[in-house]
Amino acid sequence: MAGIHGDESQKDDQSRQQAYAALSIAFICIAIGIPIWWKTTTTYRATLPYGEIADLAKVQTVCEIPVTVVLVSDKGTETQLNSLQQQLDYSLVSDVSGRYSKLSLHYQVRVRNANAREKDVFYLKSTFKDLDSDLRRLHEESDIGSSMVYVLQDHNHLFTSSRAYIGKYRHAFVFGQDMKEAAELAARVVREIHVHEAFVAKIHGTATGVKHTEADVESMRSLRSTQGYELTFTLLNPDPSMVVAKWDIADGIRSYLDPFLKKLAEFAEFKVNSQVLYYMELAVSPKYDEAGQRYVLKSKVLPHLITPVEAKLGSHVSTNPTLNFLVYVPTKYHSPLYILNEKDEPIMSNAFLSPRWGGIMIYNSPETEANQTLPETVEVEMKSVMEVFLSQLRLLIGVPKQKSDSDVIIASPDNTGITDWEFDSIIRARTLENVAMATSTLQSLSQLLGQISNMVIRDDIADQVYSAVEAIEMTHGYLKEANLYRAFHSSKRAIQSSEKAFFDHSLLELLYFPEDQKFAIYIPLFLPISIPVLITLLKAIKWMKAQRQKAKTKSKTE
Amino acid sequence: MATSTIKFCVWFLLIVFVDYGCLTSPESEAQSFFQSGHTNNWAVLVCTSRFWFNYRHVANTLSMYRTVKRLGIPDSQIILMLADDIACNARNPRPATVFNNANQHINVYGDNVEVDYRGYDVTVENFVRVMTGRLPESTTKSKRLQSDDRSNILVYMTGHGGDGFLKFQDAEEISSIELADAFEQMWQKRRYHEILYIIDTCQAASMYHKFYSPNIVAVASSQVGEDSLSHHVDPAIGVYIIDRFTYYLLDFLEKVQPTSQNSLGELFQVCPKSKCISTVGWRTDLFPRDIDKVLITDFFGSVRNVELNVTTISLEKPNRTPKEGITRSKKSQSQLKYAEQFPKYYKEDTKQVSFSLDHVNSVIWRMYLKDR
């Protein structure tokens, strides 16, 4: 009897031990194993401001532009000022300011009478150039982005062939006897020339990601927003045994290009290189024009000139885009060489540009006597070359081309090559482009990170994103306050941070795991262990239930 | 009478307005040269196999490289990914050459092939990095795809593929979904204007089924379930040296010049089932233009738009101080001569050399003694 009891108690003990063992293993697996597995297989993702990024996409960029209109007349009355203000409020309203457009330009108009000093200037000086420079001296610290229009009523002698004159700085002169006419002209000057609304709206639209398929000169010509440009000046010598061309490029750049680059030092970083290439012929042979006693290149062969040369130009170390400017000195057999336009007339500058690439100029060497010793040396005159290249460089950087208008005379820039209002317009365009691109970059980044859950987001990427969001918000603030200078710099910070975060090399989805493949990975690891554990767990639970039943029946019988 | 004068007036006014319209549009001159919506061209040519028996894939890729270069895309805008183990392979009976035809007329591995990613660098990761632009900062300019929103990109891939994947160097694969995602990443950042995707592998059409980004046109050498076949074997080399689809493509492209007006539609028809045995397929639903009107040189060559310079800025000559003129002439007077072949101290007395060695020795002794 005792033996049977002993056996039973032994069996009981055994099953109790088994049950406890199974339960403890299951407990360890569930309570400790699963959290460890979860923690070690989650990817590290620093928090990102997804909500703020989504909000930024819906915000409309409001750009305030301060405009001061000064009425210069001997008999300026209050009523005239008021009527001018009214007319301006009516006509100086931007086309780009719908409720549903992403960009809104708004003009803050202020009308006043000319003060005593300004009246003196108008009394003393009698040409636009002098007026321009003297008024500039009066307003030394005009803000970047502001615009000033002088409405002249009595100075008929100045306006001989036009009704408006745009100066080199930030002011313009408009002739208007009648306030309505004056207001309309002033509005046109500010909207179409100083601000160039159409251009700004197009740049902003392209940066927000508008799809475009057809060719569009304005948006294709200039390079998109970059930190800096590499400028390469090349002199091509096709046949050095006959004609050797030389140029003093260092002096040329110092005299003619440096003022321009200095003025644009904050806009972008410029690096200038130069080289001379020998035995570089043009791929297209020019035709001889009997009538003009010259060699000509028709406009339709020009696109094929660039590609063979491009391979030999060399590329640089930096990742900034390169703009190439070439001077080609034709051989004696093809001299003089002219480029013809569509109507088969030679163009004066003898140069053409290729959008987003650079420009080529053909420099015809002056005529020499017949028995010159070969090789003949040609000293390329830097002034004419630099004039052409500077005008091309302006276009390639993004200075908008103004439509020619008989009513308006636009003053040509001084030696810096760019007027103050043109500088304002490219700064404004660049600011809006930067802020639009940064916003769309952040949006696509947050979309990408939301979609792919196993991409690691490091802390420094999160920092870049936060600083980009902050910079974009600051830019919006500064643009609303009409502080274009600060807005430009914060937009630069915004785009740099957002590009750095987006193109960080760690953000790569390396492995594509569809859901069923995830099962295929985990099952061979966990199934062999989990089946015995589960079965013994079930057995243990059954035993525990049986024990409880036994205890219950025992207490019942007792 | 009155009606006739009215008619005359109307016609006169019409003519005047039409003339006026022509005169006041200086932009129309520039418009005529801007025929395409792109300003630059890039090519990404990828050969995804290695080993001697995959000679034909390397020949395919190098032939496309030659074509693209001939039609004008410079090396700086071509990304060539090859395992590059064929030309100098121990089994190559013609070392340092790769031919794409049994008549061995053209050595496609000639003098100026610039391979950007070679050997074991041709991986799925590097390919996706190049396409999306997520390269480490130390990467050189020649290994980057620096395209912008007005770049047309030609992407050519060849190798061994299957239903929905493409094998990279016998070690890994890229799936069609990854490829589609890479293109979408490019579109998000507007890194391309239009893409022409050509793939020459088995079951190639499966790779373009998952594309969902706009402005992509794709052509593949075979449908799902079909194998792409090679063209012919070169008994002198001992391997198949070119694939059928690429062979007929190249045949057609040989006749294309930078000024040609052939369209993509013609290119897609070069290899009917009778010649290619597999069915060539293409996908144009994501592409907005009609492929019969798209020029081949839009993708294969680089014909740039031009704009004539009508006006220039006038600059003033600055005042140069005479001092700078003098320094310039001084520079030009100095004669150029060869540098010394051996450094100076080498030629002098060896006594000095030994002295300096002794000096060094004594210094070391002194330091040693100091430590003790």
Q: Kindly report, residue by residue over B252-291, the tens digit of the pLDDT.
A: 999 999 888 999 999 999 999 999 899 999 999 999 999 9
Q: Do A217 and B34 touch (CB under 8 A)?
A: yes
Cβ proximity of B267 and B251 under 8 Å: no
The answer to whether the CB atoms of A315 and B76 lie below 8 A apart is yes
User: Among A321, A306, A388, which residue's Cα sits nearest to residue A350?
Assistant: A388
Candidates B47, B57, B202, B271; catalytic one: B202
On whether any CB of chain B is under 8 Å from the CB of A262, the answer is no
Per-residue pLDDT of chain A (558 residues; tens, 9 = 90+): 555 666 777 887 887 887 888 888 888 888 998 899 888 878 788 888 999 999 998 888 899 999 988 888 777 678 888 888 888 888 888 777 666 678 888 888 888 888 888 888 888 888 888 888 888 888 777 778 888 888 888 777 777 778 888 888 888 888 887 888 888 888 888 888 888 888 888 888 888 877 766 677 777 888 888 889 999 999 999 988 888 999 999 999 999 999 999 999 999 999 999 999 999 888 888 888 888 788 999 888 888 888 888 888 877 778 889 999 999 999 888 888 999 888 888 888 899 999 999 999 999 988 776 667 777 888 999 999 999 999 999 999 988 888 878 888 888 888 888 999 999 999 999 999 999 999 999 999 998 888 777 778 889 999 999 999 999 999 999 999 999 999 999 999 999 999 999 998 888 765 566 667 778 888 888 888 889 888 888 888 888 888 899 888 888 876
Type of residue found at B288:
P
Phi, psi (deg, nearest 5) at residue A105: -100, 135
The pair phi, psi for residue B270, each rounded to 5°, is -70, -20
**Yes or no, beta carbons of A213 and B34 under 8 Å apart:** no
Tell me, yes or no, if B160 is annotated catalytic.
Answer: yes
Q: Does A209 touch chain B (CB under 8 A)?
A: yes
Give me the pLDDT at residue A371, please.
Answer: 67
Q: What is the pLDDT of residue B145?
A: 94
Q: Give the C-alpha separation, B68 to B77, whole Å.
A: 10
**Helix crossing, A420-451 with A484-502: angle to 10°?**
30
Could you write out the DSSP letters of every residue in B71-91?
TT--GGGEEEEE---STT-TT
Residue B198: Cβ-neighbour burial (10 angstroms; 0-12, 13-18, 19+): buried
The pLDDT score that the predictor gives to residue A510 is 59
User: Which candidate, B81, B232, B73, places its Cα nearest to that of B147?
Assistant: B73
**Is residue B223 a contact partner of residue B281, using CB atoms and an 8 Å limit?**
yes
Question: Which residues on B lie below 8 Å from A353 (Cβ)?
Answer: 306-307, 309
β B239-243/B172-175 pair status: unpaired
Sheet with B194-200: strands ordered across: B117-118, B78-82, B40-47, B151-158, B194-200, B216-220, B281-283
CB within 8 Å: A391 and B129: no
Mutate which: A253, A317, A509, A515, vs B, most B CBs within 10 A: A509
For an interface test with A, which of B185, B305, B326 has the most A Cβ atoms less than 10 Å from its Cβ? B305
B225/B202 Cα distance (integer angstroms): 8
Average pLDDT, chain B: 84
Is the pLDDT at B29 greater than 60? The verdict is: no
Q: Does A444 touch chain B (CB under 8 A)?
A: yes
CB–CB contact B309 A349 (8 Å)? yes
Quote the pLDDT of residue B326.
40
CB A206 within 8 A of CB A440: no
Contact state of A255 with B317 under an 8 Å Cβ cutoff: yes
Tell me how crowded residue A370 is: count the other CB atoms within 10 A of its CB: 4
B289 CB neighbours in chain A (<8 A) are 213
Rounded to whole angstroms, the Cα distance separating A223 from A216 reads: 13
Q: What sign has the CA pseudo-torsion A440, A441, A442, A446?
A: positive
pLDDT at res. B325: 41
* Residue that the structure tokens 């379930």 belong to: B225
Give which of B131, B327, B296, B133 is closest to B219, Cα–Cα: B296
Per-residue pLDDT at B324? 45
pLDDT 10s digits, B64-79: 999 999 998 999 999 9
A458 or B366, greater pLDDT: A458
Question: End-to-end CA distance of chain B, in Å?
Answer: 130
In this structure, how many other beta carbons lie within 10 angstroms of the beta carbon of residue A456? 13
C-alpha–C-alpha distance, residues A64 and A66, integer Å? 7
Contact by Cβ (8 Å): B144, A320: no
How many angstroms separate the most distant Cα atoms in chain A? 141
Question: Could you say which of B38, B57, B160, B231 is catalytic?
Answer: B160
Q: What is the pLDDT of residue B246?
A: 95
The ipTM (two decimal places) reads: 0.85
Q: How many CB pairs under 8 A join A and B?
A: 178
- Say how many CA atoms lie within 13 Å of B317 toward its Cβ: 8
Indicate whether B292 pLDDT > 90. Answer: yes
pLDDT at B329 over 50: no
Q: How far apart are CA A267 and CA A262, in angstroms?
A: 10
Of B146, B288, B318, the CB nearest to A319: B146
Give the amino acid at A187. Answer: A
User: Quick check: A550 contacting B, CB < 8 Å?
Assistant: no
Instruction: Say whether B212 sits in a helix, a strand or coil.
Output: coil
C-alpha distance from B40 to closest chain A C-alpha (Å):
8
Query: What tens digit of pLDDT does each residue of A361-405 get?
Result: 999 988 776 667 777 888 999 999 999 999 999 999 988 888 878
Candidates A392, A460, A500, A508: best to mutate against B (most CBs of B within 10 A) is: A508
**A336 preceded by cis ω (within 30°)?**
yes
**Nearest CA among A528, A350, A310, A418 for reference residue B69:** A310
Q: Select from B215, B225, B224, B341 the least CA-distant residue to B284.
A: B215
Contacts of A154 (CB under 8 A, 6+ apart): A73, A74
* Nearest CB to B148 within list A224, A359, A414: A224
DSSP state of A300: G
pLDDT attached to residue B287: 93
Between CA A291 and CA A296 the distance in angstroms is 11
Q: CA of A310 to nearest chain B CA: how many angstroms apart?
A: 7
Contact A148, A174 (CB under 8 A): no
- 3-state helix/strand/coil string of B102-144: CCCCCECCCCCCCCCEEHHHCCHHHHHHHHHCCCCCCCCHHHC
CB contact under 8 A, B149 and A224: yes
Q: Residue B4: pLDDT above 90? A: no
Per-residue confidence (pLDDT) for residue B323, from 0 to 100: 41
Whether a cis peptide bond, with omega within 30° of 0, leads into A514 is no
**Strands B165-168, B160-162: pairing kind:** antiparallel
Q: Give the mean pLDDT of chain A.
A: 86
Interatomic CA distance for residues B204 and B165, integer angstroms: 9
d(CA B78, CA A82): 64
**pLDDT value of residue B18:** 45
Query: Helix, strand, or coil here: A466?
Result: helix
Residue A33: predicted pLDDT: 86
Taking CB atoms and an 8 Å cutoff, what residues of chain B touch A212? Answer: 37
Name the residue with tokens 């792409």: B228
| CA-CA-CA-CA dihedral for A520, A524, A526, A527, to nearest 10 | 100
Are the CB atoms for B136 and A505 separated by under 8 Å?
yes
- Cβ within 8 Å, pair B32-A359: no
Q: Is the pLDDT of residue B10 over 90?
A: no
For chain B, the 3-state helix, strand and coil shares in percent, each to the nearest 5, are 40, 15, 45
Type of residue numbered A86: Q
For A380-539, strand residue ranges (E) read 408-410
Position B153: which residue type?
I
Residue tagged 């990279």 (tokens): B168
Tokens coding B366: 């002194």
pLDDT of residue B21: 40
Whether B102 and B241 have beta carbons less than 8 Å apart is answered as yes
Say yes or no for a CB contact (<8 Å) between B304 and A306. yes
Percent pLDDT > 70 in chain B is 79
Tally of CB atoms within 10 A around B266: 13
Instruction: Please state, in angstroms and as integers, the Cα–Cα distance from residue B303 to each residue in A297, B42, B144, B261, following that order.
Output: 17, 12, 22, 12
- Are B190 and A209 within 8 A, CB to CB? yes
Distance CA B368, CA B360 (A): 12
Query: Which residues from B are below 8 Å from A352, CB to CB?
Result: 306-309
Backbone phi, then psi, for B282, in 5-degree steps? -145, 165
- The most confident of the ranges B207-216, B313-322, B350-359 is B207-216
Q: Do A299 and B27 touch (CB under 8 A)?
A: no
Chain A contact set for B33 (CB, 8 A): 299, 302-303
Question: Which distant-in-sequence residues (6+ apart) come within 8 Å of B118 by Cβ?
Answer: B81, B82, B83, B84
Torsion of CA B333, B337, B339, B345, to 10 degrees: -80
Answer for the pair A267, A222: CB distance below 8 angstroms, yes or no.
no
Minimum CA–CA partner of A448 in chain B:
B185
Say which residues have a Cβ less than 8 Å from residue A82's Cβ, sequence separation at least 6: none
Task: State residue A197's pLDDT score.
Answer: 87
Q: Inter-chain contact B141–A315, Cβ cutoff 8 Å?
A: yes
Give the span between the Cα atoms of B308 and A411, in whole angstroms. Answer: 22
Whole-angstrom distance, CA of residue B194 vs CA of residue B203: 24
Which amino acid is present at B85?
D
pLDDT of residue A363: 93
Q: Nearest CB to A347: which of B74, B189, B310? A: B310
pLDDT value at position A317?
A: 79
Tell me the shortest Cα–Cα distance from B189 to chain A, in angstroms.
7
A304 touches chain B (CB under 8 A): yes
Helix (H) / strand (E) containing A152: strand A147-152
pLDDT score for A358: 92
